[in-house]
Amino acid sequence: AQKITQTQPGMFVQEKEAVTLDCTYDTSDPSYGLFWYKQPSSGEMIFLIYQGSYDQQNATEGRYSLNFQKARKSANLVISASQLGDSAMYFCAMKGAGGSYIPTFGRGTSLIVHP
Amino acid sequence: GAVVSQHPSRVICKSGTSVKIECRSLDFQATTMFWYRQFPKQSLMLMATSNEGSKATYEQGVEKDKFLINHASLTLSTLTVTSAHPEDSSFYICSASNAGGNTGELFFGEGSRLTVL
Contact A34, A75 (CB under 8 A): yes
The answer to whether residue A46 scores a pLDDT higher than 80 is: yes
- Cα–Cα distance list, A88 to A35, A78, A84, B6, B108 (Å): 16, 14, 10, 21, 16
Per-residue pLDDT tens for A82-95? 999 999 999 999 98
| Among the partner residues B41, B93, B102, nearest to A45 by beta-carbon distance | B93
Task: Please give the Cα distance from A69 to B31 (Å, whole number).
Answer: 32
User: Which residues in chain A have Cβ-Cβ distances shorter than 8 Å to B95?
Assistant: 45, 103
Which pLDDT belongs to residue B98? 67
For testing contact with chain A, the best of B42, B43, B92 (most A CBs within 10 A): B43
Which pLDDT belongs to residue B104? 60
Contact A64, A77 (CB under 8 A): yes
Task: Please give the Cα distance from A54 to A2 (Å, whole number).
Answer: 17
Where chain B has pLDDT below 50, the residues are: none
| Among the partner residues B34, B106, B111, nearest to A43 by beta-carbon distance | B111
Confidence of residue A97 (pLDDT cuts 50, 70, 90): low
The answer to whether residue A79 scores a pLDDT higher than 60 is: yes
Q: Is A91 within 8 Å of B107 when comparing Cβ atoms?
A: no
**DSSP string for A33-92:** EEEEEEE-TT---EEEEEEETT-SSPPEETTEEEEEETTTTEEEEEE-S--GGG-EEEEE
Task: Please give the Cα distance from A101 to B58 (Å, whole number).
Answer: 15
For testing contact with chain A, the best of B36, B102, B107 (most A CBs within 10 A): B102
Which pLDDT belongs to residue A51? 93
